[in-house]
Amino acid sequence: MGKNHPSTTGYEVIDFDAIRPTACPCGMARRSLMDDPSVPFSLHITEISQDAKAHYHRRITETYFFLECEPEAVMELDGELVPVRPHMAIVVRPGTRHRAVGKMRVAIIASPKFDPSDEWLD
């Protein structure tokens, strides 16, 4: 049930360790809830690498919740560098060019669900 399979009960347990990581412009993402039509968003745990690439989405709003990060970690948002630390969140609206700078581990809520065809690199 935690491996991106829809739930047949009133709840869903997600085991991110059981989800195979997928390469993305930010690093490696473990994406959940992608195939569950009863949930209008997807939830990802992403390991950000040093070389994250600037990108934007035309339809998707992403909320980054910082679980762990280096002391000098920042988010670049439309060219502005915003310092981040664990337990902060940033909402990235459609059209906002963004990238994470520095190593970090984040939970990302994508609404509507993440769609790789809506990921535009600069």
CATH of the domain at 53: 2.60.120.10
Q: Is residue 63 part of a domain?
A: yes
Is residue 94 reached through a cis peptide bond, with omega within 30 degrees of 0 on the bond before it?
Answer: no
In a domain? residue 13: no
How many structural domains does the chain have?
A: 1
3-state secondary structure of 42: strand
Q: Is residue 19 part of a domain?
A: no
Phi-psi region of 59 (alpha: psi -120 to 50; beta: other; left: phi over 0): alpha
| Residues 102, 73 contacting (CB under 8 angstroms) | yes
Mean pLDDT (the chain) is 92
Binned at pLDDT 50, 70 and 90, residue 99 comes out as very high
For residues 82-111, average pLDDT: 97
Position 15 in a domain: no
- Contacts of residue 10, defined as CB under 8 A and 6 or more positions apart, other chains included, come to none
Q: Is residue 5 part of a domain?
A: no
**pLDDT tens-digit map of 6-50:** 566 789 999 999 999 999 888 899 999 999 999 999 999 999 987
- Position 22 scores a pLDDT of 93
Bridge partners for 31 per DSSP: 44
51 pLDDT more than 80: no
Query: pLDDT value at position 2?
Result: 43
Q: Is residue 9 part of a domain?
A: no
Question: Domain for residue 112, yes or no?
Answer: yes
In terms of residue numbers, what domain contains 69? Answer: 25-121
In a domain, 1, yes or no: no
The type of residue at 17 is D
